[in-house]
Structure 1
């Protein structure tokens, strides 16, 4: 089987998570600067067998799209052009940052490490991917 990759897209940083080949376990992979995201994906997808991308869909409590959605749509179009065989799924990501922060507290990380926004983004991507796998 091929892996599934998840993206917690941000205008500055993007968290990335990946499954194992059996698509059972979601693990944080890396957080990259968004300006280098396509370069990272090009290299990673050339080296790994990935069939699906789960792209976080940030919504407001009202259900409306958040401000970053226009950037995400542009990113999605770029991915679809560059990787036409990659299946792209959108996954609601409301509360993932709060859940990621709580996960860090529950895991015993100190205040200094909890301020690491890159780690929060990576954990958020993992939560997005876990939610997707749970609902398969």
Structure 2
């Protein structure tokens, strides 16, 4: 059993090509954008990250359309979750609504004064979206 005082959470904004990943602090109060990973090597990345960072919980965005219908990406996400759970059976996986995270990420980047060329870099948007997913979870589950 993990000592939860010394564990972290990660947030995932899953995509077919790229996946944004974020990580919490040990107090599980703050979320930090970590990286954007080519989805084809995501499992390998997580096989290194999860034990090295003592990850207790993975929060994965749930893509809902504005009418509350699941996005077509959901089937791919469910397959990813099944694989992740088979590799890390002791890790808790939770889901959270990810609507608007890309729009909010784009707004945050624009407001931060980043130049237009950098703002168009989707990998920045993906990891900030992952951070928003995790941050939303942390806020909703404050102890």
TM interval, shorter chain, is over 0.9
For residues 111 and 68 of structure 1, the distance between their equivalents in structure 2, rounded to whole angstroms, comes to 28
In the alignment, is residue 24 of structure 1 matched against residue 29 of structure 2? yes
Deviations 1:72-122 (A, max 9, x none): 000000011000000001010000000000000111111101000000000
Deviations 1:28-69 (A, max 9, x none): 000000000000000111211111000000000110100110
Instruction: Select the residue among 93, 97, 100 that pairs with 2:102.
Output: 97
Answer whether contact 2:29 2:139 (CA < 8 A) is retained.
no
For residues 81 and 63 of structure 1, the distance between their equivalents in structure 2, rounded to whole angstroms, comes to 29
Name the SS of the counterpart of 1:129 in structure 2: helix
Instruction: Select the residue among 71, 90, 94 that pairs with 1:85.
Output: 90
Q: Tell me the equivalent position of 2:52.
A: 47
* TM-superposed deviation, 1:22: 1.0
RMSD: 0.6
Unaligned 5+ segments in structure 1 are none
Deviations 1:7-34 (A, max 9, x none): 0000000000000111111000000000
Q: TM-score, normalised by structure 2?
A: 0.94
Q: TM-score, normalised by structure 1?
A: 0.98
State how many pairs are aligned: 136
* Equivalent runs, 1:1-136 vs 2, <5 Å: 1=5, 2-136=7-141
